[in-house]
Chain A
Amino acid sequence: MNNFKNIFVYSLLILSLNNCTDHVDYEAIENYAITAEVYFQQESDYEAALVGTYDPLQWMFFNIQIGAIASDLSLCGGESASDYLGLQEINSMTHYPENDVLSNVWRWLYEGVNRANYMEENKSNIQFDGKESMYGEVYFLRAYYYFQLIKFFGDVPLFTDVRLTAGDSGSLSRSAASLVYEQIELDLQNAISVLPASQSEQGRVNKFTAYALLGKVLLYQEKFAESAQAFDQVIGVYSLVSDYGSQFLRFGENGPESIFEIQYTNQSNWYDWNCIQCSEGNYGIIMNGPRGWSGPEYAQGWSFNVPTEEFFNSFAEGDTRRDATILDIQSFADQTGSSYTEGYDHTGYFNNKYIPRAGESGGQIELNYLTNYRIIRYADVLLMAAEALNRGQIDDATALQYLNQVRARAFGSSDNNLNVSGSALTDAIWLERKYELALEGHRFFDLVRTGQASSTIAGFISGKHEVFPIPQQEIDISGLEQNPSY
C-alpha cells in the first residue's frame, strides 16, 4: 500500500515537470488584443486604418497656433510668462532646439506619415472595390503631413514604403526639401488621379482638395505656372460665402467655401489630460478663450494667441473682417455686463475665429470644443491663384479679378476694389492675405515664403528663423544635422 502511494506521488511529480512548459507561453488574444499579424485581412480593416491616418490631423492645433503666434499679428499670452514656454519663446523668436511644443509638432506629423506608410505597406494584401480611391486619401494625407514638416523644419527624413519600427531608430538622415517636395507632388498627382470629385461624408478629401493643396505646394516652390493650373481646377467649384464671419461659426462649418477642414466634435466623453491630442475635440480652442469669462456667447479659456492692438487698428474702415477676426473683449464685456480676468500679455483682443463659444464643448470641457480648423478656404485659393498668375506673369487681369472677389466680399461692396498690376498687385495680394486669413495659421509661413519675415517680425533673424529647429531629442537620438544657427 505504501509503495503504491509512493509511486503515485513520484509519478505526479514527474508528470508535472514534463507537462507544463507551455504554461508560460502567451498569446495576445488572451487579452483580446489584435496583433498586426491578423490585421489587413478584410476591407473594414483598411477603412479603419484610413480613419487612423486622418486622426493625426486633429493634432495640428500647435501648428495653427504657431502660424499666428510666430507672426506679427498676435502675442502668445497665456497665464504667465512661463505658461507654455515653448510657445512664448516662439512668440519672441527666442526658441531653441529644446522646445516641447516643436517636439510634439515633429512627432505628431511623423505619426501621420507612419500611419499612411503602414497602409502603403499593406496595400496589396487583398483586393476590394474602392481601394484605389481610398489610397488617394492616404496619399493626400501623407502629402499634407510632409508639407507641414517642410514648412516647419525644412529638410526632413523622407520615407514612404513601410511603417518604421524600432530598428529604424537613428538610421535616417534629412532629405533635401526639394526631394520631399517631389514626393509630395507625386502623392498629390496620384491622389488626384483616383479621388472622386465629391465624397459622401463631410471631412473626407476629394479630387479638388488635392488640387488645392497641390497648387499651394507648387506656389511655395514658386512654380507659378503649374500652380496656377492646379488652382484653375478648383476655381468655380467652390464659392465665397456672403457673410465673411459666418463661416467661422459652428453652422458655417464645411460650407461652400470650405475646401479642406479638420473635423472635430464635442460628442466624446472620453478624455485624458496626458493625451490632449487624443481627444475628438479641438484643444486649440480653449487656449484662446478669455480668462475667467463670465458672460454670454463665449466661454472662459486660457487667453493665448491674443491679437495685437496695432493689428486691430490697421483694418481698413468698413472691413467686416475685423470684428469677425478679433474680439474686443472690453467693449463686448461692457455691452453685455460681463466680466473676465486678464492674462499675461493682455492686449484686450482675442482670436474670434478660434475661440471657445458657449455650449460648443462637452464632456471634459477644455478638450472637447467642436470647432473645426479651416485649413484651405476658397478665398485662400483665390488669393493663391491670383499670386501665381501675377508672380508668374501669366495673367494680372484674372489675378486682380480674384483679389477683388475676396475684397468685395469683405467690404460688402465693390467700392473698395483695387486696380493695380505688376509688383503693386503682388503687394496687394500679400496684404490681402494678412487680413483675409489672419489668425488661421498661415501668416508666419506667408511672411517667410515671401521674404517679408525679417522686416515684419520682431527678433526674426534671416537665415535662421525661416525654419524651426529640429527637436534636440531627435538630434541626440538620430544624429540629424541641426538647422543653421540653432
Chain B
Amino acid sequence: MKNIVSLLFVYFSFLLGFHAQDLSGSIVDADNGEPLAGVNIVVEDQNEGSVSDLNGKFNIENFESGSTLVFSYVGYKTLRLKISSENFLDFKNINVSLENDLSELDEIVVIGYGSQKLSDISGAVSTVNNDAIESVTPVRVEDALQGQASGVNIISSGSPGSKPTVLIRGITSYAGNDPLVVIDGVSASIDDLNSVNPNDIKSVNILKDAALASIYGVKGGSGVIVITTKTGKRNSKTSFNISTSTGFQEVVKKIDVLNAAEYVAILNEASVNSGQGIVFPDISGYGLGTNWQDEILNDAPIVNHSVSASGGSENTSYYVSASYTGQEGVIGDGDKSFFNRTSFTTNIDTDLNEKTKLIVNTNYSNIKGKSLPENGITSVLSNALNFDPTVNPYKESESLLGSDGATLFQEHSSQNGSFGTSETITQEIINPLAQIYNTYNQNKVNKFTGKIELQYDLIEDLKVTSRFGYTYVDIYDKSFVPLQFYGIGHNQTNSEPDLSPIVSIDSEGNSTSTHNRVTEGHTNYFTYTYEFYGNYDFSINDLHNFQTVAGFSIGESKGGNISATNEDVPFNSWAYADVSAATGNALQQTSGSWQYVNRNLSYFSRLLYDYDEKYYASLTARIDGSTSFGSNNKFGFFPSASFGWVVSKEEFFENIPIDFLKLRASYGSLGNDNISPQFALISTFPSYVLNGNIISGSSLGSIPNDDVSWENQVQTNIGIDTRFFGNKLSLTLDYFQKTVDDLLFSPNLSLYLGTPSFPTTNIGSTKSSGIDANISFNTNIAALTIASNLNFTTASNEVVSINNGDKYIWGAGYGIPYRPIVRFEEGFSPGYFYGYVTDGLFQNQSEIENHASQSLNGTFPGDIRFVDLNNDGMINDSDRTKIGDPFPDFTIGWNLNLDYKSFDLSVFTYASVGNDIYRAYERNLSYTNRFASVLERWTGAGTSFEEPRVTFIDSNNNNRASDRYIEDGSYLRIKNIQLGYSLSDSFVEKLGFSQIRAYMQVKNALTLTEYSGYDPEISVGGVLNTGIDYGTYPQPRIWSLGMNFKF
C-alpha cells in the first residue's frame, strides 16, 4: 500500500486586523501550480461560502478570525483550514493548494484469496460501490448492478423477488451461464442473492477475464461476482445508520384489447368468415364491457427498513444490521403475491492475539412469498388479455351495469363461485379474478450463511488463512388446489357451480368424484467450503513487488426434498389446507423425495508481480476436481497469465497531457461444471397394469459417460485504462474474445435407441467477443458537483458447432398447440427465434394460386402469405429460418449524480438496443378476446396488408410461429431518479445526529420503446427462454419516499 503523504504549501504573512473582516486568496493544484476554478469554499458551521473563479481567486466577506474554512473539489482531497491572525498575517492573500485525491484509484478490489489496488490490476474488472447500490434501494442486489458495470447484462422481471438473468460477457454455454457469486470469500450462487440485504454490501467487484476469474477455475467460466459486506472500523465509536423508505408500485402501460362492443362485432365477422352464422344476433348494449387488466392490476406497496450499527475497539470491530423488505405484486391483491425478507447480519473480527485474527460473519434471512401463475398461457395476465370482455367480473354485479354499459361492481361479494363465467370459452382461459381467488400457495425460506475465518501471521509477510464458509437453506412450501368453478364444461372446472365436487356415475352405477388437493414440501440445502491458503507478500529493493497465494479448497453441496400430497381438504378452505387435515384415503395420498450431493476439491495459486508499479504481471492456476466429472476425467487444470504496463510512468510520457495510461492484456482458461454424475441407471419408474393393479417395473433409464468433463473456455482480454484533465475524465476499455470447447450437451442420438436419457457429452463449441467500456467524468461547476458515469456493453455470440446429430437444440416454445420457437444452433447466435417469414396478405384468389401451397386445409384472401424459402412450392417446416434475436446488440448505462449544497440528485438511465421480443400471449380460441390491432384487419382486397382476416377456422394456420409476432424490443428507460435533501449539519447535531437525509425516488420513471406489450425487459429464466413475452410480469413504476439517519 502506498500512502501519498499530504503535501500542503501554505504561504502566509502577518497582518493584524479586526475580528470580522474580508478575506481573499487563490487556490492552485498542488502538483502543477495551475489555478483551480470552481472550488467550493464554506465557512464551517455557518451557511456562508464562496466559489473560486477562473483564476482560482476567491473572496469571503465578514470573516470571523478563528473560523475554519472547508475547501472541497471533486478529485481533490477536502482541506479544512483554521484561519486566525496567529497563523495568517495577510487575510487578503491566502494561498491554498489542493492535492489530488487518488483514493478512487486506490480503490481496493477483492479478487479472490486476496485483494489488489484497482490501479494495479492487469485483468478486467468492474466495480460497483455501495453508494451506487444505495441510490437504487434495490430488492435484490442485481437490480442495482444493471447498467452500472460494463460487461454485465442483467435482464429482470417485475415479479416480486424473482431471480434475473445475469450474463457476464455474453453467452458461451448451453448448460448454464450464471456467474459464480463469492460473498466475503464464500462461494455462493445468483440464487443466494435473494437473501442478501443490499444495504449490507460495501462493494461488488465483477471479475470478467481469465486472469482474474481463473483463481476460481471451473466455476469461473461465466464470470465471478465478488461481494464484500460491511465491517466496522477499529477504534471508532459506534455509529448507527437507519434507512427507511416506503412507496407504491403501479403498472404504467396496458395492452389495447377489444372492448365488449368491438368484441361481439369482430366475433360475428369471424364466425361468418368461417361459414357459420352470426353468434351475437343483437350487438347493441354491450358498451365497453370489462377490461380485465383494470380488474387485476393494482397499485401495490413496497417498503424497505434497515438499521445497522458498526464500530470497534482496539482489538475488535463489528457490524450488525437488521433489515426488512416487503414488496407486494401489482397483479392481484397483496395477499396472493408478495416477497418479504427479514435479514440479520453480524460481522465481527477480533484479534485473538498478536498474530491471530478471527473473523466471524453470520447472516440469517427469512423469506416469505406467495405467487400467482405467470409466464404462460395459464398466467393471470394471459387470462386478463384473453378472457371475454362481455362477462362481468362478478355474478352479483350484473345488476350494477351502468347506463353507459360500464360495469359497476364495487359492491361485489368475492365469494368463490360468484365470479363471472364464460359460456363460450371452455378451455384454459378463465376469469382472472376467479383464478387469483383460487390460487393458494406459500413459500417460506430460512437461510443461514456465513463463515468462520482464522488468519495467522506465520512469519513476517506470510499470513495463512483457514476459512470455513457455509450456507444452510430450509424451504417449506405448500400449495392448495381448491374445488373451483369456471363455467359448466370448462376444462379448468372441477366442481359444480356451488363448489361441491362433481360426482360422476359410470355405466355400472359406481360413482367417482372430483377432489381438492393440498401439497406440502420440505427442501433443504447445505453447502460448505473449507479453504486453507497462505499469502506471502514481499518486495525486493522496493522495486520488485510480489504478492503470492497458494492453497486448497474442499467443499460439498447437498440437498434433499420430501413432499406429500393429499386430497379432500375440509371445507375446501385454505385455512384447513394441510396434509394432516386432509381426509383423502390411502390411494389419494402420494409422496416423493429426491436428493443430490456434489463435492469438489481444488488447489490454487497465484503470483502477482510488479516492477516499481510500472510493469505488472500475474500468473494464476487452479486445479479442480469434482464429483460431477466422469471417472476418466476427475481433475481439470485452469491456468492464466496477464501483463500490465503503466505507460504514463515512463519518462517519455512526461510531456503528454494524459494523467494516466495503462495497457493490459490477459490470456487463460476457465471452465463450467454444470453437469451431474452419469451412470447406467435402472429406472424403476416404468409400470404397467396387470389384473387392474399398477405393477412397478423397470428399464434402463440412462446411459453412462465416464469421459464427461468440464466445458473448457479460453479467454483473451486486451484493455486500456486512462485518465485525462486532472483525473476528471477516466476511460476504461476492454476487448475480449472467448472460445468454449467441449460444450456440454445431451446429444440427439438415433431415435431407434428408444427413450432413455442419453448422457451429457462434450460435443459443442461457441465463441463470443465484445467490448466493455466505461467513461467517468467528475467535476465541479461553482457549488455544483457533477459525477457521471457511462458504460457500454456489447457481445456477439456464435454457436460454432454442436455435434449432437441435429446441429441444433430446441429451447422454449409457447402456446396451445405448443410451438417451439427458440433454437441453439450451429452457425447462429445462441437462443435465437426460429419461424416462418411473412410477406403480407393475399389480397385475392389469384395471388393464392400464384404462390406456393400453404395449407392443406385451404387458404383464402386475407390470409397471411408465408415466404417459400426453399422454393419447393410448399410452405412447410423447411421454410423456417432465423426471425429474431432476443439479446441486445449493446446496452448502455448512464449514471448522473449532482450535488448542490444540501441537495443531491441521482439519475440512472439504461438502454438496451437490438433485442427482439416474441409476442406469445395470444390464446387464439374462437371466443377469446383479440388485440385492438384486429380493428385494422383485412376485410376485402386492399383493406389491409398486415392484419389478416378474422375467422374461427384458421385453416391457413395464420397463427404459426412467424415473424408476425416479432417486435423490436429496444428501449431506453430512466430506471431511477432519486432526489435527496440533507438537513444542515448544525441543526442535525443539535438533534444528536450526524446526518439526516430525506429523499424522493422514482424507479422505472419513463420507458421509451416501440414494443406493444407491458415491458420490453423480459426474463423468464435462462438463455433458451429469453425475450418471449408470455404476458411477462411488468416492472412497475415505483414511487417512494425515504429517510436516512446516521448518529
Question: A residues engaging B (CB < 8 A)?
Answer: 6, 9, 12-13, 16-17, 20-21, 23-26, 28, 30-37, 39, 45, 48-55, 57-58, 79-85, 88-89, 92, 94, 96, 98, 103, 106-108, 110-115, 118, 156-157, 163-166, 168-172, 201-204, 249-251, 263-270, 278, 280, 291-294, 296-297, 299-300, 339-341, 344, 357-360, 362, 366, 471, 473-474, 476-478
B175 to A: closest C-beta gap in Å: 18
Whether a CB of chain A sits under 8 angstroms from the CB of B656 is no
Q: Is the CB of B805 within 8 A of A477?
A: yes
Question: B residues engaging A (CB < 8 A)?
Answer: 424, 426-427, 456, 458, 464, 488-491, 504-508, 510-512, 532, 552, 554, 565, 587-588, 590, 595-597, 599-601, 603, 625-627, 629, 631, 634-635, 677, 679-682, 684-700, 703, 705, 747-756, 758-759, 761, 805-806, 816-817, 855-857, 876-878, 924-925, 953-955, 957, 959-960
Q: Is the CB of A115 within 8 A of B754?
A: yes
A357 CA to B505 CA, complexed, in Å: 9
Q: Is the CB of A24 within 8 A of B600?
A: yes
A223 CA to B592 CA, complexed, in Å: 52
Please list 11 pairs of residues, one from A and one from B, whose beta carbons are closer than 8 Å in the complex, sorted by A's number.
A12-B532, A34-B681, A34-B682, A45-B698, A48-B696, A85-B817, A89-B856, A98-B876, A171-B750, A267-B587, A291-B426
A100 CA to B943 CA, complexed, in Å: 37
A106 to B: closest C-beta gap in Å: 6
| Interface of B (DSSP majority class) | loop
Q: Given known contacts A16-B532, A45-B698, A98-B876, is B507 in contact with A250 (CB within 8 Å)?
A: yes
7 closest cross-chain pairs (CB), A and B: A51-B697, A359-B504, A111-B754, A52-B697, A292-B426, A358-B504, A477-B805
Report chain A residues within 8 Å CB of B855.
Answer: 81
Q: Is the CB of A81 within 8 A of B877?
A: no
Report chain A residues within 8 Å CB of B635.
Answer: 24
Q: Is the CB of B817 within 8 A of A280?
A: no
A80 CA to B759 CA, complexed, in Å: 38
> A37-B680, A88-B856 provided; 14 other pairs, C-beta below 8 A?
A23-B600, A24-B600, A26-B599, A36-B681, A51-B687, A81-B957, A113-B754, A157-B752, A166-B758, A169-B753, A201-B690, A263-B692, A477-B748, A477-B805
Q: Is the CB of A118 within 8 A of B700?
A: yes
Q: Is the CB of A476 within 8 A of B954?
A: no
B9 to A: closest C-beta gap in Å: 48
Q: Is the CB of A118 within 8 A of B426?
A: no
Q: Given known contacts A17-B552, A341-B426, A477-B748, is B599 in contact with A110 (CB within 8 Å)?
A: no
Q: Is the CB of B754 within 8 A of A114?
A: yes
A22 CA to B778 CA, complexed, in Å: 55
Q: Given known contacts A36-B682, A169-B805, is B689 in contact with A110 (CB within 8 Å)?
A: no
Q: Is the CB of A28 within 8 A of B679?
A: yes
Q: Is the CB of B696 within 8 A of A51?
A: yes
Q: Given known contacts A52-B698, A82-B954, A249-B507, is B751 in contact with A106 (CB within 8 Å)?
A: yes
Chain B residue with minimal CB distance to A476? B806
A297 CA to B426 CA, complexed, in Å: 19
Q: Is the CB of A362 within 8 A of B512?
A: yes
Q: Given known contacts A249-B507, A341-B424, is B625 in contact with A263 (CB within 8 Å)?
A: no
A17 CA to B550 CA, complexed, in Å: 12
B992 to A: closest C-beta gap in Å: 48
Report chain A residues within 8 Å CB of B758.
Answer: 166
Q: Is the CB of A359 within 8 A of B489?
A: no
Chain B residue with minimal CB distance to A267? B694
Q: Which one of B532, B590, B955 lies within 8 Å of A13 (CB-CB)? A: B532
Q: Is the CB of B699 within 8 A of A79?
A: no
Report chain A residues within 8 Å CB of B817.
Answer: 79, 82-85
Q: Is the CB of B699 within 8 A of A52?
A: yes
A362 CA to B857 CA, complexed, in Å: 36
Chain A residue with minimal CB distance to B680? A36
Q: Is the CB of B697 within 8 A of A81?
A: no
Q: Is the CB of B697 within 8 A of A35?
A: no
A50 CA to B955 CA, complexed, in Å: 45
Q: Is the CB of A474 within 8 A of B751?
A: yes
Chain B residue with minimal CB distance to A200? B691
Report chain B residues within 8 Å CB of A80.
Answer: 924, 953-954
Q: Is the CB of A24 within 8 A of B686?
A: no
Report chain B residues within 8 Å CB of A280.
Answer: 687-689, 694
Chain A residue with minimal CB distance to B593? A32
B388 to A: closest C-beta gap in Å: 14
A349 to B: closest C-beta gap in Å: 18
Q: Is the CB of A31 within 8 A of B959?
A: no
Max count, chain A CB within 10 A of own CB: residue among B691, B753, B805, B957: B753
Q: Is the CB of A203 within 8 A of B532?
A: no
Q: Is the CB of B856 within 8 A of A9?
A: no
Q: Which one of B681, B696, B705 lies within 8 Å of A33 (CB-CB)? A: B681
Report chain B residues within 8 Å CB of A300.
Answer: 426, 489, 491
Report chain A residues within 8 Å CB of B625.
Answer: 21, 23-24
Q: Is the CB of A168 within 8 A of B692?
A: no
Max count, chain A CB within 10 A of own CB: residue among B512, B603, B631, B690: B690
Q: Is the CB of A115 within 8 A of B806?
A: no
Chain A residue with minimal CB distance to B819? A82
Q: Is the CB of B489 within 8 A of A341?
A: yes
B536 to A: closest C-beta gap in Å: 14
Q: Is the CB of A344 within 8 A of B953?
A: yes
Q: Is the CB of A35 within 8 A of B507?
A: no
Report chain A residues within 8 Å CB of B512.
Answer: 266, 359-360, 362
A61 to B: closest C-beta gap in Å: 14
Chain B residue with minimal CB distance to A295? B489
Q: Which one of B458, B629, B749 lies within 8 Å of A166 (CB-CB)? A: B749
Q: Is the CB of B684 within 8 A of A110?
A: no
A172 CA to B750 CA, complexed, in Å: 9
Chain B residue with minimal CB distance to A338? B489
Q: Which one of B456, B532, B699 lies within 8 Å of A118 (CB-CB)? A: B699
A82 CA to B816 CA, complexed, in Å: 9
Q: Is the CB of A203 within 8 A of B689?
A: yes
Q: Is the CB of B458 within 8 A of A31?
A: no
A88 CA to B876 CA, complexed, in Å: 14
Chain A residue with minimal CB distance to B629? A24
Q: Which one of B688, B695, B700 lies within 8 Å of A36 (CB-CB)? A: B700
A270 CA to B517 CA, complexed, in Å: 13
A35 to B: closest C-beta gap in Å: 5
Chain B residue with minimal CB distance to A149? B752
Q: Is the CB of A35 within 8 A of B753?
A: no
Q: Is the CB of B426 within 8 A of A168?
A: no
Q: Is the CB of A28 within 8 A of B755?
A: no
A326 to B: closest C-beta gap in Å: 17
Q: Is the CB of A166 within 8 A of B691?
A: no
A336 to B: closest C-beta gap in Å: 13
Q: Is the CB of B691 within 8 A of A201?
A: yes
Q: Is the CB of B552 within 8 A of A471?
A: no
Q: Is the CB of A92 within 8 A of B681?
A: no
Chain A residue with minimal CB distance to B587? A267
Chain B residue with minimal CB distance to A97? B877
A258 to B: closest C-beta gap in Å: 14
Chain A residue with minimal CB distance to B924? A80
Q: Is the CB of B552 within 8 A of A82?
A: no
A58 CA to B805 CA, complexed, in Å: 29
B507 to A: closest C-beta gap in Å: 5
Q: Is the CB of B690 within 8 A of A24?
A: no
Q: Is the CB of B680 within 8 A of A51?
A: no
Q: Is the CB of B489 within 8 A of A164?
A: no
A55 to B: closest C-beta gap in Å: 4
Q: Is the CB of A92 within 8 A of B700?
A: no
A125 CA to B711 CA, complexed, in Å: 39
A95 to B: closest C-beta gap in Å: 9
Report chain A residues within 8 Å CB of B690.
Answer: 51, 54, 201-204, 263
B801 to A: closest C-beta gap in Å: 15
Q: Which one of A28, A81, A202 lies within 8 Å of B857 (CB-CB)? A: A81
Q: Which one of A81, A294, A366, A477 lies within 8 Å of B751 (CB-CB)? A: A477
A122 CA to B669 CA, complexed, in Å: 45
B894 to A: closest C-beta gap in Å: 43
Max count, chain B CB within 10 A of own CB: residue among A26, A35, A49, A267: A26
A106 CA to B753 CA, complexed, in Å: 10
